[in-house]
Structure 1
Amino acid sequence: MKQFALISSVVLISFTLLNCAVIRPGEAGVKQHLGQLQDDVKTEGTLVYNPFTSKVVKESIKINNLELSLNLPSKEGLSVDSQISILYRLKQDMIPSILRNIGQGYPEVITSVFRSAASDVCAQFFAKDMHSGMRANIEESIKSKMDETLAKQGILIEGVLMKSISLPRGLSTSIEQKLQAEQDAMRMEFVLQQEKLEAERKIISATGTRDAQKILAQGLTDQIIKIRSIEAFNKLSESSNAKIIITDGKTPLLINQ
């Protein structure tokens, strides 16, 4: 009797463990009973179910990265090779609706929506714009257009990143030459600006020297020259060294001995 009870307990515990689904962080689980998805969404924990009539469908609610390689059309009709990353996540409370309406193949739906949105947006821009500061505008426009279709389905687009853009060889060379010419022009403009500033500095310096000399010349009256001469004689008289002073009575000329 005791053995039977022990065996029954082990079987019961094993059966209970087999009926528990573990939902890890970043996941959401939905119970499907007799083929019908329930609306209750479980996150981070265990979900008990009857394996004979039910199962648990798990989906990631983290931000996922969908990598694509495709050709994008440009306004001038060129084909631009590109590497694209689409960052998306599923809205947690809409996972049952996503599984009912789209199924677990929603990455293919995201890809299809992206291709349509990218074609519409990129056709409004020149190929060179995809390789310049306009890239951020193109990415944001594609994201907004995708949101119009996918957000109401429960798929949130976090970002569209154009990681790599390969322009046609001839166009790429032309853009590089243009950028080099612009850099050379900016460098020359800087040099000319520096030369101009240096010339202005020299003019200001020369003007200041001229004005100082003019002011000094205007201030040297006979009376001031006489006073300065007397001051010079006084300083010479204080010296103990022998000196020969030649003067006309106005200004001294000193000869050291």
Structure 2
Amino acid sequence: MFLIILGVLIIVIGFFLSRGESPAKRFSGIIRLAGIGLALIGAAFSMFKVIDAGQVGVKKLYGKVDDDVLYSGLNIINPLVDVTTFDIKTQNYTMSGQHNEDGKSTDDAIRILTSDGLEVTIDLSVLFSVRPDDAPKILKEIGPDYLDKIVRPIARTAIRDNAVSYEAISLYSIRRQEFQNKIFNVINESFAKRGLKLEQLLIRNVTLPESVRKTIESKINAEQDAQKMQFVLQKEKQEAERKRVEAQGIADYQRILSTGLTDRQLQYESILAQKAIALSPNTKIILMGNGKNPVILGGN
């Protein structure tokens, strides 16, 4: 386009020079030919437009948007049109509290009020893409700045409008996935009307008020202490049961001995033991008997 404009200007200059009386008049024809050539070269180059992969182009001529979409590759177009490109790959728009490289805070997290009147801070990531066939519609109705005009306000409004149905603790724990699915459907419907496709919605973090966090931590610590005490009591109970079984076994053993062994059986067992000693090759002296009539045995 620049070459075309420059060529036209050179042609105009050559035209005015041809009507004057200056010495440059005789060169006006050459100047006009150079301008025509430059304009033709610019037009030739402007007729070809390369669209990169993952993008589409939208043509606009004198403010009027063409509904035809230019897809990736080499396209032949009217050299006078202006082409606006749109990224159709998946885009990530995150709203969170973060810090820049210079250390300054850029807090864009979403602050909401829950049904129990508590303020909760949510970090959110929106994964979306531009629908290729709707790129002309976006250019006409929204413009290329659809992130700040559509993505951000719709996501924030959907979260605030739906958070009033949940308590803070529920959003933090048991109903977090339910809340995420609900706002996904709301945002997806709004995006579809404006030529955008919502691919995924990620609630990255839910920050509760300091007082609520301390209450939860105290509750968790109390539950852990209770579980620890339960474990100790269970262990003591098992140890007591072990000792009871052991004592019962000793008592049963003593009862069996006291009721099942007679004097004759004990005398017989004693004779067997003394016989085994007598047969041993070691030197020994054995006294046998009940003390009244002892029998003395000797051996090597």
Normalising to structure 2: TM-score of the pair? 0.63
The alpha-carbon distance between structure 1 residues 230 and 84, as it changes in their structure 2 partners (threshold 3 A), is: same
State the 1:31 CA deviation: 3.5
- Secondary structure of residue in 1 paired with 2:52: strand
Contact 1:32 1:56 survives alignment (8 Å) = yes
Which of 127, 149, 163 matches 2:190?
Answer: 149
State the 1:74 CA deviation: 0.7
State the 1:124 CA deviation: 1.5
State the 1:234 CA deviation: 4.2
Q: Which residue of 2 aligns with 1:163?
A: 204
The farther-off stretch of 205-214 and 77-86 is 205-214
- Secondary structure of residue in 1 paired with 2:109: strand
The alignment yields a C-alpha RMSD, in angstroms, of 3.7
Counterpart of 1:202 in structure 2: which amino acid?
Answer: K
Q: Which residue of 2 aligns with 1:110?
A: 151
Which of 62, 73, 82 matches 2:122?
Answer: 82
Contact 2:111 2:121 survives alignment (8 Å) = yes
Matches within 5 A, 1:114-193: 114-193=155-234
State the 1:72 CA deviation: 0.7
State the 1:184 CA deviation: 2.0
Counterpart-to-counterpart distance in 2, 1:16 and 1:234: 127
Q: Which residue of 2 aligns with 1:32?
A: 59
State the 1:229 CA deviation: 4.1
Higher relative contact order at CA 8 Å, sep ≥6: structure 1 or structure 2? 1
- Secondary structure of residue in 2 paired with 1:103: coil
The alpha-carbon distance between structure 1 residues 36 and 234, as it changes in their structure 2 partners (threshold 3 A), is: same
Counterpart-to-counterpart distance in 1, 2:40 and 2:285: 130
Structure 1 stretches lacking a partner, 5+ long: 1-7, 250-256
State the 1:101 CA deviation: 4.4
Counterpart of 2:79 in structure 1: which amino acid?
Answer: P
Counterpart-to-counterpart distance in 2, 1:42 and 1:73: 45
Counterpart-to-counterpart distance in 1, 2:239 and 2:70: 73
Counterpart-to-counterpart distance in 2, 1:69 and 1:117: 14
Counterpart-to-counterpart distance in 1, 2:161 and 2:221: 32
Q: Which residue of 2 aligns with 1:237?
A: 278
State the 1:10 CA deviation: 11
Counterpart-to-counterpart distance in 2, 1:216 and 1:41: 104
State the 1:29 CA deviation: 0.9
The farther-off stretch of 114-123 and 54-63 is 54-63
2:222 maps to 1:195: no
Counterpart of 1:49 in structure 2: which amino acid?
Answer: I
State the 1:32 CA deviation: 1.3
Counterpart-to-counterpart distance in 1, 2:262 and 2:45: 116
Q: Which residue of 1 aligns with 2:78?
A: 50
The alpha-carbon distance between structure 1 residues 40 and 228, as it changes in their structure 2 partners (threshold 3 A), is: farther
- Secondary structure of residue in 2 paired with 1:157: strand
What are the superposed Cα offsets for residues 67-93 of structure 1, whole Å, 9 maximum, x if unpaired?
A: 242311111122223332222223344
Q: Which residue of 2 aligns with 1:5?
A: none
The alpha-carbon distance between structure 1 residues 223 and 46, as it changes in their structure 2 partners (threshold 3 A), is: farther
Counterpart-to-counterpart distance in 1, 2:253 and 2:187: 74
Q: Which residue of 2 aligns with 1:73?
A: 113
Contact 1:71 1:82 survives alignment (8 Å) = yes
Paired-residue identity, %: 31
Normalising to structure 1: TM-score of the pair? 0.72
